Amino acid sequence: MRRPSGFSLIELIIAMGLALLLMLGLFAAYTHATGVKSRIQGTVKIQGNVRLTMDKLTRDLRMIGFGVPDGAQIGGTATWAPAMFYAAQTQIGYRADVDGGHAEIVCTPRTANANCPLNKLRLDSIRYYQDRNCDAPDGSAMLLVAAVDRRRWEPVSCNGYSTGDGSILVNSVTDSVFRAGDAHVATIEQVYYRYIPGSQPPYGRLVRYVRFNNTPDDTFPPTGVTWTTVADHLTDFWLEYEDRNGTTLSSFPLSTVDRIRTHTIIVFVEGYDQIGPQGQAQIVQARSEILVRN
């Protein structure tokens, strides 16, 4: 009888060697694919941070001065000009009707007019003030500005609204000044941006704060407030200011005269991170020029 034959030791060693090589190849391919995926995801994240920063700043800075009266306060000397009240290389503060709280006054408020008294402004639309519940539940009134001819203005506060006659309730306005057809109310937001550098992850970050004001306030930065982070993983950020002739204005913070002269703001953003299994450095940069109405 023949004894059953099997694999020899050499055959087993060769088979195990081939299997090991195959497994090593598969592992190398998996590691490479994982590394590529990690690098792509990291790059997308950095690009997203830079793009978010640039998009937000570009949209916001183009609003500088929008809806802001350019004359003096009625019965006073306060002005909102220049709309950019602070400007430095990594910080900026400006005024604008950012969220579109503008509404036309359709009935001239007078002492002797029961339909349009001095503390009740009838508007072409109260949707904005209704949606935001201008008499806030916490008891704080929304700060507004009433303006005539888009020049003279005075501060008011919205204490409520009436859907019946399309009006908002305010503290009071000057008698017969805010004529129907050439007067309006608006929310004037003061917007603040700051770049806070950092040497460790998540590195530097750009923060933003917004508040309603019905009288101009040039203080920068505001104190006792909560800043919102726009983007992090930023290793460089700067603003450059040019006048109408392309001359760079660089004595920071800019003086009132230079802020008035500012015609173009140049924004530079650099995003950085160490990505992938080997911690590869990845840098994304962006630059944009923004014309301002200041």
pLDDT digits (tens, 9 = 90+) for 240-282: 999 999 999 989 999 999 999 999 999 999 988 766 555 677 8
Same domain for 107 and 91, yes or no, is no
In a domain, 39, yes or no: no
Same domain for 237 and 111, yes or no, is no
Same domain for 58 and 81, yes or no, is yes
Host domain of residue 153? 101-186
What mean pLDDT is reported for the chain? 87
Instruction: Of 38-47, 55-64, 221-230, give the lowest mean pLDDT range.
Output: 38-47
pLDDT tops 60 at residue 37: no
Same domain for 282 and 195, yes or no, is yes
Same domain for 128 and 238, yes or no, is no
Distance of CA 63 to CAs 73, 79, 97, 170, 173, Å? 22, 18, 8, 26, 27
Residues near 189 by beta carbon (within 8 Å), at least 6 away in sequence: 95, 96, 97, 98, 99, 210, 211, 212, 213
- Total domains, the chain: 2
